Amino acid sequence: MRLEALLNRWRYGEDRERIEFLTSQLLQFLQTSTDSTNNAQNKAPNNATTSDARWDGSTCVLITYGDAVQTPNEASLVTLRTLLDRHFGALANTVHVLPFLKASSDGGFAVASHERLEEHLGGWEDLKALSQGRQLMADLVLNHVSAAHPWVQQFRQGQTPGVDCVLAPDPNDDWSQVVRPRSTNLFTAFQTQTGLRPVWTTFGPDQVDVNWDCDAVLLAYAALLNRMVAHGVGWLRLDAVGFVWKEPGSTCIHHPRAHLLVKVLRALLEGMDPQGVVVTETNVPERENLSYLTPGDEAHLAYNFPLPPLLLDAVLREKADLLNGWLQRWPSLPNATNLLNFSASHDGVGLRPLEGLMDQERLAQLLEQCELRGGLVSHRRLSDGRDQPYELNISWWAAMADAGRDPHHLQRERFLLSQLLVMALPGIPAFYLPTVLASGNDAATFRRSGHRRDLNRERFSAEALERQLTDPDSDASHNLRWLQHAMAVRAALPAFHPDAAMQCIGERQSDRVILQRGCGASSLWAVHNITAHRINLDLRTLANRSQWCDRLRDQTDIPTLLTLNPFAVHWLQPC
């Protein structure tokens, strides 16, 4: 039995009876979960040619908070469903609803209840209604819970199960090698019935790490997963999964048991939904990030974290040397695994993935360019006590602005280039709702909250947004039209299948990015002018053909000597 075998590896050294009991408890969730055929009725159409394929060229992910769009006296999930049904169409065939459970801080990632949604969002049935006609992706926040969670309150009172669920190791053990994602203290002292006790707080004092050696923790998360699947969730984002297992004398990141936990959760999800997709979120250097894909039986997808900072650097610098060099080394991954490609998300632009890819001088220049456009920099604490830049906090739309007198100069062109390049890569493209809607830096919310990530987490009035989307001249309307059109074209081209081959052409040419997708007669060249100047391209250097078509613009008779306008993108095939 797959699940029992995984538990034996994950909990090695434990007695057989405990493993058998834990297995039997988990199997009960699988037996009572929604039948896969019923669950599939709610999912978006899939044009895949094989029954077991989880994605095809039409698949994309729209990332949004459940309350991103608001109407007075209406549950936000209802408002969001209305917006997506009315305006987004296939661009929302998979929707990542960011944490919707009751939480105390950190944009929903300090989960205070595994049973209740935030009241203003609505209820579980509203979540299920949102899944009609589309796939839903949801977060399992695995590493920690809120300091307000019942487990933490029970821990303080010496009550079960919380007394065993909270991670409270001896601070005097050897934790000198721990890799930190924040500059806050690793331990936070909590008042308990027996006095002050230090507990592990990777991400800050309101987020208390849980003890994954406790059976109650695994069973509680399995129950939550079961409930999510029953309410339309088929894609699962494993938040900060690399940090879940701690051991003295180690880095406490990517522990072998963290990888085994991913395998266990995948087995559970596939038992509840055979078409389920596990997505790992590990904002770390590339090799570490890919380690959740390369075994072939852990994640189905992993966030492509080097892409956003390299893409941002290329566009702002108008120089694609680092981006092209990285694209030349695109990883070869096991079958049925791939990357989730994105430029922006609810978090900032992660900088750790640049380790080994960008020198410190160039990184400092990138940070300076973003600060000129209203961005901020967040830091993490190293083992020697120094703070190091960890994340750029800026809205992607603001980052695409011109640094001169007119911020709007070529802003749309830069933005579209960045999103179309994301679409052109192997893997699944993902788009962040505020970015699509041309949201600038939300300085007002940041001033109120003091949280830098709030610069990129704007909430919208549904009424005001409706006016923008029905105005053909607005930035939001323009962006949405173009992305919908491009995704429709992408879906019809076999060369853009997520698993189709890719070759980066002309690594040494820093003014352009040229990607050849697919093989043989279906091959396509995605050409990107990464500069604010016109450049010429002889198409015969791509293939010795005299007649070319631009699939993105549905144009034929493209000249073999093609002039590329500033930040222009062309999807070219021989006619």
- Active-site positions read 239
Instruction: State how far the Cα of 566 lies from the Cα of 414, in Å rounded to an integer.
Output: 9
CB contact set of 224 (below 8 Å; sequence gap of 6+): 114, 140
Give the integer Cα–Cα distance in Å for 336 and 352.
Answer: 27
Compute how many other C-beta atoms are within 10 angstroms of the C-beta atom of residue 234: 27
Element (H, E) at 141: strand 135-141
R_g of the chain, CA atoms, integer Å: 24
Q: What's the CA gap between 303 and 71, in Å, rounded?
A: 32
416 contacts: CB under 8 Å, gap ≥ 6: 479, 482, 567, 569
Distances (CA, A) of 366 to 349, 391, 483: 11, 12, 27
Residue 92 · residue 141 · CB < 8 Å? no
Which residues lie below 8 Å from residue 391, measured CB to CB, with a gap of 6+?
283, 347, 348, 349, 350, 351, 377, 378, 452
Assess contact for 228 and 156: CB atoms under 8 A.
no
How far is the CA of 418 from the CAs of 25, 312, 426, 479, 493, in angstroms? Answer: 47, 8, 15, 12, 20
Give the angle 59-61-67 at the CA atoms, nearest 5°: 145
Q: For residue 109, how far is the Cα from the chain centroid?
A: 14
- H-state helical runs in 383-461: 396-399, 411-424, 433-436, 443-449
Contacts of 424 (CB under 8 A, 6+ apart): 496, 515, 517, 526, 528, 571
Which residue in the block uniquely carries the two structure tokens 């085994």?
A: 260
> Using an 8 Å Cβ cutoff, are 212 and 245 in contact?
yes
CA 191 to centroid of chain Cα atoms: 36
End-to-end CA distance of the chain: 53
Buried b (16+ CB within 10 A) or exposed e, 281-299: bbbbbbebbbbbbeeeebb
Long-range Cβ contact pairs of 156-162 (< 8 A, separation 24 or more): 156/190, 156/191, 156/192, 156/193, 157/192, 157/193, 158/192, 158/193, 158/194, 160/216, 161/214, 161/216
Alpha-carbon span 514 to 501, nearest angstrom: 14
Query: Half-sphere exposure (CA, 13 Å, Cβ side) for 191?
Result: 0
Q: Is 324 helix (H, G, I), strand (E, B) or coil?
A: helix
Q: The tokens of 139 are what?
A: 């977060």
